[in-house]
Every structure is written in C-alpha cells, then in structure tokens.
Amino acid sequence: MNYKGYIPENNLIHLHHLPDLTALQSLYRQKSFLYNLCATLVENTEFIPVEQSTKTKVLHKILLYVDQNYSTDCTLKVIAKQLQYDYAYLSKLFVHMTNMTFTEYLNHYRTSQACYLLKNSEQSISEIANNCGYNNLRSFNRNFKRITNVSPRRYREEHRDETVGT
C-alpha cells in the first residue's frame, strides 16, 4: 500500500523494551531502526485517509515551493503571487500553522541543505552559500551560526568524519 495521504488510526507503538539508542552510530543502523518502527506501526494499526483543510493544502504548496526554489530568490511575496493569494494572508497563515515566520523557516531549510552539503561535498563554503540561496556570504555565515551555534567551517570540520563508514 502507498501510505501517502493516509495517517495511522492509532499512532502509538507499545515497545516491550526500550532500544539502546547509543548503538545507532551509523546512518544505516539509524535507518534500520526507523524502518523497523514503521513496520511495527503498519502491522499494528489501520490507516485512514487524511482530511486536509484548505489551509493545510495552501501550507503544503508553500513548503513544496520552498523545497523546489530555496536556492533562488525565494520570498513569500513571490510565492503569494505564484499561488495567487494575498501576501498578508499567507504570512499570517504560515505563522499560525508553523509557529515561525516564513523567513525563519526558509533560513532553517537553507541551513539544513547547507549542513548536508558541508558533510557530503567538497564545494567551498561560498559555493554552498550560493547554492543554498544566499548571495551574501556574511548573511549565510550569520544565519548558519545562529541556527547551528557553529560556523560553517567548524561544522564541516566536526562532521567530516561522520560520513566515513556509514
């Protein structure tokens, strides 16, 4: 079954014993653990179709737009024009449904993409900043450090060894 558009009727899983999370050192062990949890959930509950409100559908369109356009000049004003909605309405809707401003979300999203590239590519920090939608290296460094508490260079140094052996 394709579970897109469905949610578990009962989203509780009763574990007989707590897993040893310290044993999940590699990415493969982490994924295996998560897939096992999903399999347990699928085996122990029914799935029902998601009833999405118009507001939820609009939010999904905004998030999808960010996913596809974060590396460009991605603003809520551009999205509002693209989706043919009032900018002020989308701004209030976004804050109401996510508890963060659109700009906060975009900066977090771009930072998560930058983290991935810092760990998994040899691109320079300025290339990564540019590829993640920042045309100003100072803004990239400031936002990255505010969100992760370390500079991009330090992040790369601290996480470079993580990808080896996973």
Predicted TM-score of the model (pTM): 0.71
Short-list 104, 139, 107, 105, CA closest to 125: 139
Encode pLDDT of 86-145 as tens digits. 999 999 999 999 999 999 999 999 999 999 999 999 999 999 999 999 999 999 999 999
pLDDT value at position 87?
Answer: 96
Encode pLDDT of 9-61 as tens digits. 887 887 787 778 888 888 888 899 889 888 888 888 888 887 778 899 999 99
The dihedrals phi and psi of 19, each to the nearest 5 degrees, come to -75, 155
Band of pLDDT at residue 73, cut at 50, 70 and 90: confident
* Measured distance CA(10)–CA(47) in Å, rounded: 8
Residue 127 CB contacts under 8 Å (≥ 6 apart), including other chains: none
Q: In 10 A of CB 114, how many CB atoms?
A: 26
Residue 129 CB contacts under 8 Å (≥ 6 apart), including other chains: 114, 136, 137, 140, 141, 152
* Measured distance CA(94)–CA(91) in Å, rounded: 5
